[in-house]
Every structure is written in C-alpha cells, then in structure tokens.
Amino acid sequence: MSDTLIMPQLTTEEVVSLTRKLNYGTWRAQKTWKPMHVVDAEDCYFITADGKRYLDFSSQLMCVNLGHKNPRVIESIAEQARELPYIAPGYATTSRARLSQKLLEVLPEGLEKFFFATSGTEANEAAFKIARMYTGKTKIISRYRSYHGSTSGSIAATGDPRRWAMEPSGKGPGFVFAPETNCYKCPIKHTYPSCGVACADYIEHMIRNESDVAAVIVEPVVGTNGVLVPPKEYMPRLRQICDEYDVLLIADEVMTGWGRTGKWFCVDHWGVKPDILVTAKGITSAYVPLGLTATTTKIADYFEEHYFSHGHTYEAHPMTLGPAVATIEEMQRLDLVNRAAGLEPYVRTKLEALKEKHISIGDVRGLGLFWAVELVKNRETKEPFNTMRDKVEGKPLVVDQVAAKMMGMGVAQQAWVSHFVIAPPLIVTKAELDKGIDALDESLAIADALVY
C-alpha cells in the first residue's frame, strides 16, 4: 500500500477542533459545544481518549439497552456485510424474513405487518402517512409533553420546545395537542384518582370537536419529557375512546420499547393493543440505525388494493436487519426484560431514599430501568429551577450543573430542563446502579443550596 494512502494520526485536540469546525452540534447553539473525544466503549461504560471511563447511566440517548460492544451483535454486522450489504427494498432478503418472524414473537399481539426505516423520526413519519392513507382523515392528536422526531411531520407532532423553531410555517400541518398525563403536576389541575383520568376524557372532547382525526399518538410512558408514567386506567381508556370514534392509536415506543420498562413493550403493562406501534433505538441497541413501524393486519389488508405511497432507498436496509435479529436473540438469551423488571424495586427504593434526603427533589417516578428524578426549587409550589424557555435560549440550567459534577465523578447522566433520565443499559449490575445513584446523591448539593 502506498504511504500516501495512510491517514496521519489525529490528536484529540485535532479531532475535537475538526468536529467543532466542520459539524453541527444538534439541539444547541454552537459556540459552547465542546464534544469529548470518545474512543471506546464496553458494557455499561464508554472511554475517552485520555483513558477515563464513564458509567453510561442513560444508555447514551436511552438506546444502548444491551450495553456497549455486545460481541454477538458486532459479529452479526460483519456477517451481514459479508453476506449482502445492500439490496433494494423491493427484493426479499433472508434478514428481513428472519427479523419479521422474530418481531412476531416479541411485539404485542395483532401487530403483523412491518415497515423498516432508519430512525424513530422516519418510523413516525411512516406511521402518520399510513394512518392518513388508511383512514382518509388528516389530523393527528399528540400531547404537549412529547417528542416524536425532528422532521416535518414528526416535529409537528412534538409538543416540547424543539418544535418552536419551526413555527408557524416550517412544520407539517394537521397536528393538535392534548394535555399530557402528569399526576405529579397535572396540567389541568386535577388529582388522581378522583379525576377519573380526565386527561383521557379531554382527548375524547378534542376528537368530538376537531373532526377529521386520523390518529392519536402517545409515548405510553413519556420519555425525554419526564418519564411520565400514566395511571393504570389511562391507556385502556384511550384505547376505548379511539375504538369508539374510529381513530387509530399510535404507540410511540421508540424509547420505551425493548425491555426498558420491564416488559418487551410498554403497552404490555396494561394489555393495550395499538393499531400502529413505532419503535427504534433499542431494536438494535443503537449499533446500526433501524426504525420500525408495525401495523395490524386490518391496516395491512387495506393496502392490498390501495397504493402504499411511501418508501426510502434505505428501507429494510439489510445492514440494519441482521443485527436486529442478533439483538433480540441476545436480549432473550440474557433475559434482559425480566432483569429490568427485577431491578425496578431496587432502583425505586434507592431513589425514594434520595428524595427523602434532598430537598431539591420534587418527585421520582419510573418503571423497570427507566426513571426520572425531577428537581424543584420549592416542594410546596413545585416550581422548577428552569423553564423550557431557558433551555431553548441556552441559559445555564441547574440540572446541567449537577450533571457536570456527576461527569467529573465518572458518571454520564442525561438531563432535560428540570429532571434527569436514569436509564442504564439493561445489563447494569446493582454495584453500577449504586455508583450512579451515589454520584447523583453527592452532586445534588448544588441544587439543594438553591432551594428556597
């Protein structure tokens, strides 16, 4: 090989400076972006160029459910590359057939026809188009505390402030917002259980008054926007309302799927069967980019005679499908769904003890290995330290100060406006849970000092 083909080694300073100069840091102003140079990762840790190991307490973006560098999944990527790295989606492939069979084993019953994209965003876009084509109706009801993706339709369905930059005219039309279920701080000022889940009834009220509603989309447990666990009546009631008004129910399980909440899929907690289930992230433990839109046979039958007007060059990309089969097999072999459920009481007890100790914690909530710790500056009023507006304007957030302290202690923790999302890989040990929660415990002094 000629010497001129060998790229010179880059120093960490060069890597960071090239990245900053030539790439966009997402969801932020660029000036303060100082990305760390990550060179390796294994199990529940990632490693930076200076040799420091960080406990990955949120599985990156709540997606590396199997932990880093699972050997079987890595091998499946190599196998797929050797066998068939690409073929157009119009052809049948062994990996697509295998994955589809495997999905029938783990998805909620009744979801039997699949469209494969390369992200949660795209999978939601497909869900909206399918719902609109199938029902002949237009509107989609979403909720304010939600995130469904970054492109035209999915950002329009997103209730959180990431939508604001696209308003009023930069987003897809036809999305309307309902209040979320948040029993800690109810947006319609009710109290559970005397409310009778009025937040679900509110959606019925919207459907009646909007007309032309094709679907309701919900994250069964809201993810980034607070790990909001609904009361047990909520999802069954929503299913009932959707059936009554001939509206499709879309479950966005991009974050809650794949064992995260202690079931294969979050809707399994309540036995609710959505018409469309959307997922991504943990489907491959994020090693390769795959999104899934799963529909019922009833929806599938409609397209036997009607034009399925959707697709991508990378739809059902073989490189994404083989590794998904390996991911599911590894999850089964390691019994990770039961592991997440089994560790839930341990995390609950530890976080409730943390709340007792720290005046700045307003609430802890979660399921399986998916938890939020919400900070408030006053427990009585439940007023947060920061607002969504602070986040968008790039103001320093209290949660970011706490997370930075944790990072200094070797624990990487995702934070959003006024809460932390604790979601370690499902292979996490009790000792690693202790390490992460201990780091939070120590770092919360920063927030406690600001309480009044």
Residue ranges in contact with ligand PLP by CB under 6 A: 61, 119-121, 124, 147-149, 219, 223-224, 252, 254-255, 280
Q: Tell me the closest approach of the beta carbon of residue 120 to ligand PLP, in angstroms.
A: 2
Minimum CB distance to ligand PLP smaller for 237 or for 260: 260
Minimum CB distance to ligand PLP smaller for 251 or for 361: 251
Residue 2 CB: number of other CB atoms within 10 A? 5
Helix residue ranges, H only, 39-196: 59-62, 71-83, 94-106, 120-135, 152-156
Assigned token pair, 411? 């624990």
Q: Rounded to an integer, what distance in angstroms lies between the CA atom of residue 64 and that of residue 45? A: 11
Residue 12 CB: number of other CB atoms within 10 A? 13
Minimum CB distance to ligand PLP smaller for 76 or for 158: 158
Q: Tell me the closest approach of the beta carbon of residue 257 to ligand PLP, in angstroms.
A: 9
**Residues 67 and 425 sit within 8 Å (Cβ to Cβ):** yes
Tell me how many helices (H) and strands (E) the chain has.
15, 15
Q: Rounded to an integer, what distance in angstroms lies between the CA atom of residue 100 and that of residue 72? A: 19
Backbone angles phi, psi at 295, to 5 degrees: -125, 165
**Residues 406 and 443 sit within 8 Å (Cβ to Cβ):** yes
Q: Tell me the closest approach of the beta carbon of residue 333 to ligand PLP, in angstroms.
A: 25
Minimum CB distance to ligand PLP smaller for 123 or for 195: 123
Q: Rounded to an integer, what distance in angstroms lies between the CA atom of residue 147 and that of residue 252? A: 9
Minimum CB distance to ligand PLP smaller for 360 or for 413: 413
Q: Which residue has tokens 């991508």?
A: 312
Question: Coil, helix or strand for 53?
Answer: strand
Minimum CB distance to ligand PLP smaller for 93 or for 224: 224
Q: Tell me the closest approach of the beta carbon of residue 148 to ligand PLP, in angstroms.
A: 5
Q: Rounded to an integer, what distance in angstroms lies between the CA atom of residue 419 and that of residue 384? A: 9
Q: Tell me the closest approach of the beta carbon of residue 276 to ligand PLP, in angstroms.
A: 13
Q: Tell me the closest approach of the beta carbon of residue 280 to ligand PLP, in angstroms.
A: 4
Minimum CB distance to ligand PLP smaller for 149 or for 259: 149
Minimum CB distance to ligand PLP smaller for 203 or for 255: 255
- How far, in Å, are 66, 96, 98, 256, 319 from residue 102 at the CA level? 17, 10, 6, 19, 17
**Residues 337 and 259 sit within 8 Å (Cβ to Cβ):** yes
Q: Tell me the closest approach of the beta carbon of residue 279 to ligand PLP, in angstroms.
A: 9
**Residues 58 and 227 sit within 8 Å (Cβ to Cβ):** no
Q: Tell me the closest approach of the beta carbon of residue 230 to ligand PLP, in angstroms.
A: 14
Minimum CB distance to ligand PLP smaller for 277 or for 439: 277
Minimum CB distance to ligand PLP smaller for 95 or for 119: 119
Residue type, 2: S
Q: Tell me the closest approach of the beta carbon of residue 252 to ligand PLP, in angstroms.
A: 5
Residue sitting closest to ligand PLP (CB)? 120
Q: Tell me the closest approach of the beta carbon of residue 160 to ligand PLP, in angstroms.
A: 10
Query: What's the length of the chain?
Result: 452
**Residues 65 and 331 sit within 8 Å (Cβ to Cβ):** yes
**Residues 224 and 215 sit within 8 Å (Cβ to Cβ):** no
Residue type, 5: L
